[in-house]
């Protein structure tokens, strides 16, 4: 499902003394099947933007197109439930949305709201518990008895359970330990490929964006200021710095390395693995030169 935003603007508390502009003139296109990362400083409008992507917020100005649905300021809320079935959002700290008596019931909540039969919802719930690496005996436990990391996984399962074709992740790994972080990001990447999802990741981590995304949207002060592939975006270090954003560690290391050896490497190393490879190659060439 393609998503496109045209000149989107949004005000919080419109027509009150608290009125605050959160978005202005956002233009972006997210193609079906792409992995898009939305990056920006705190308060740059990332979270507001993503609530426009499934009709939780309606733009005060401009138009949002999600598949065949067009949403603008006057759109009725009624028809939007269908959009939400196709676009799942994992919010920041999603464990706050847990409420059911048992983990299974909580995971079944989404699918059953969207008209999936009880048996099917239950089957999916058990499947997801295994997929997310939760121990099997949590199924009948209360979600409030789990550890923070496990609650996070249950909440994520609750969104995956209704099989959205677009998956939006708002800092899904915030507050997790490094290992859990990596596991969850790898899981999303795996799902993205296997289920052919359109994934949108809101993140602070340049490393995650560089590693997983094939399309970046940089937000600053409520508007989209840069878009493009990671290679394109990370090539312009100065522009990024002007939005108070840095480079991913691997690219930063590469730049420092290039300065030391006095020549540029041909490609940008988006991950540590690529970086190691490029450096090994450079070292070999260097060795060959000096012989």
Partner 1 sequence: MLEKMIFGRYIPGDSFIHKLDPRSKLLFVLFFVVAVFLANNVATYGLLLAFTLFVIFISRIRLYFLLNGLKPILILIIFTFLMHIIFTKEGTLLVDLKIIKIYEEGLRQGIFISIRFLVLVLMTSILTLTTSPISITDGMEDLLNPFKRFKLPVHELALMMSISLRFIPTLMDETDKILKAQLARGSDISTGSIKQRIRAVIPLLVPLFVSAFKRAEELAIAMEVRGYRGGEGRTRYRQLTWGSRDTISMVLLVMLIGALYLLKG
On the CB side of 231, CA atoms within 13 Å amount to: 6
Q: Which position among 46, 52, 85, 122 is part of the footprint of partner 1 (CB under 8 A)?
A: 85
Least distance in angstroms from the C-beta of 255 to partner 1? 39
Whole-angstrom distance, CA of residue 251 vs CA of residue 245: 13
Encoding tokens for residue 271? Answer: 């991950």
Which helix (H) or strand (E) covers residue 51, if one does?
helix 46-51
75 interacts with partner 1 by CB under 8 A: no
How far apart are the C-alpha atoms of 158 and 268, rounded to whole Å?
37
Per-residue interface string for the shown chain with partner 1, residues 90-129, x marking contact by CB under 8 A: -x--x-xxxx---------xx--xx---------------
Cβ pair 88, 100 in contact under 8 A: no
If binding is defined by CB under 8 A, does position 188 make contact with partner 1?
no
Cα angle value 130/159/211 (rounded, 5°): 80
In sequence order, what are the residues at sequence separation of 6 or more whose Cβ sits closer than 8 angstroms to the Cβ of residue 60? 9, 10, 11, 14, 73
Residues 6+ apart with CB under 8 A from 192: 35, 167, 199, 212
Asked if residue 18 binds partner 1 (CB under 8 A), the reply is yes
Does position 12 interact with partner 1 (CB under 8 A)? The reply is yes
- Stretch touching partner 1 by CB under 8 A, among 30-38, 87-95, 123-131, 189-197: 87-95
Question: Does the footprint of partner 1 cover residue 78 (CB under 8 A)?
Answer: yes
Choice between 17 and 74, CB closer to partner 1 = 17
Output the smallest distance, CB 4 to partner 1, in A. Answer: 20
Q: Would you give the binding string for partner 1 spanning residues 137-156, x where CB under 8 A is met?
A: -------x------------
Q: Look up residue 203 and give its two tokens.
A: 């993140």
Which stretches of 195-227 are DSSP H helices? 206-212
Nearest to partner 1 of 35, 91 (CB atom): 91
For position 68 contacting partner 1 by CB under 8 A, the verdict is no
Residue closer to partner 1 (CB basis): 114 or 253: 114
The residue count for binding partner 1 (CB under 8 A) is 30
Buried b / exposed e over 199-231, threshold 16 CB at 10 Å, is: bbbbbebbbbbbbbbebbbbbbebbbbbbeebe
Name the site residues for partner 1 (rule: CB under 8 A).
12-13, 15-18, 51, 54, 56, 77-78, 81, 84-85, 88-89, 91, 94, 96-99, 109-110, 113-114, 144, 158-159, 162
């Amino acid at each position: 499902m393609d998503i496109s935003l045209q000149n989107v603007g949004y005000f919080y508390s419109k027509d009150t003394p608290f009125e605050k502009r959160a978005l202005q003139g956002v233009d972006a296109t997210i193609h079906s099947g792409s992995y898009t990362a939305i990056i920006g400083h705190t308060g740059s409008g990332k979270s507001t933007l993503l609530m426009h992507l499934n009709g939780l917020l309606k733009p005060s100005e401009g138009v949002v197109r999600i598949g065949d649905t067009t949403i603008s300021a006057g759109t009725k809320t009624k028809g939007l439930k269908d959009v939400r079935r196709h676009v799942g959002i994992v919010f920041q700290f999603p464990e706050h949305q847990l409420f059911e008596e048992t983990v299974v019931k909580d995971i079944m909540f989404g699918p059953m709201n969207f008209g999936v039969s009880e048996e099917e919802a239950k089957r999916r719930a058990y499947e997801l518990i295994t997929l997310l690496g939760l121990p099997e005996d949590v199924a009948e436990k209360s979600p409030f008895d789990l550890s923070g990391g496990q609650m996070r996984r249950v909440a994520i399962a609750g969104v995956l359970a209704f099989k959205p074709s677009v998956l939006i992740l708002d800092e899904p790994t915030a507050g997790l330990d490094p290992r859990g972080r990596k596991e969850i990001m790898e899981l999303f990447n795996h799902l993205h490929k296997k289920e052919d999802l359109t994934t949108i990741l809101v993140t602070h981590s340049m490393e995650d964006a560089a590693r997983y995304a094939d399309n970046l949207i940089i937000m600053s002060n409520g508007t989209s200021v840069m878009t493009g592939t990671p290679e394109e975006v990370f090539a312009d270090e100065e522009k990024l710095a002007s939005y108070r954003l840095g480079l991913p560690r691997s690219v930063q290391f590469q730049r420092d390395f290039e300065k030391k050896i006095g020549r540029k490497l041909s490609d940008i190393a988006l991950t540590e693995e690529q970086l190691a490879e490029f450096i090994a190659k450079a070292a070999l060439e260097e060795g060959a030169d000096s012989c």
